[in-house]
Amino acid sequence: MEAQAPQVEHIATHAEFEAQLLALIGRSQHELQAFDPDFAVFQLGRSDVDAALRTFLAGGGRLSLAMHDPAQILAHQPRFLRLIKDYAHRVDCRQTPATLHHLTDSFLIGDGQHVLRRYHCAQMRGEASFADIQATETPAERFAEIWAESTPALHATTLGL
């Protein structure tokens, strides 16, 4: 099987972000790792995102999210909360400590070869890189560091069991 050539798509609008988010989830099979301060822009509870994530998880994928504050998801994304309950064995969510709250970028890594990045969480400007392992190296290292310092959040039940 021939390797795909790396592909980069620049993002400037919310619609472009949404399209690249769905494209990255659709191209990923094993692992999705994401960091965002609150995941508001990701709209994880939107029906098309929910369907893409359910397909990914049903195929055996794992989803790991790290965030500063889960309040936006808790208040506005009930569909995503159901997904966490339905796939508790495949979804991990963590909250960063206050010492990391200065981090303001946002990224999603798929299978260690695709990445969707916004340079600052207050702006839509960013890029999506597909079939580009080099583009994922720095975000993957950052994600590992963020994950190691974060604590569990958004449990499948109110007791966190």
pLDDT tens digit at each of 161 positions of the chain: 456 789 999 999 999 999 999 999 999 999 999 999 999 999 999 999 999 999 999 999 999 999 999 999 999 999 999 999 999 999 999 999 999 999 999 999 999 999 999 999 888 999 999 999 999 999 999 999 999 999 999 776 544 44
Q: Are strands 62-67 and 31-35 parallel, antiparallel or unpaired?
A: parallel
The C-alpha atoms of residue 25 and residue 62 are separated, in whole angstroms, by: 11
The C-alpha atoms of residue 106 and residue 16 are separated, in whole angstroms, by: 15
pLDDT at 1: 46
Q: Yes or no: is domain 7-153 CATH 1.10.10.60? A: no
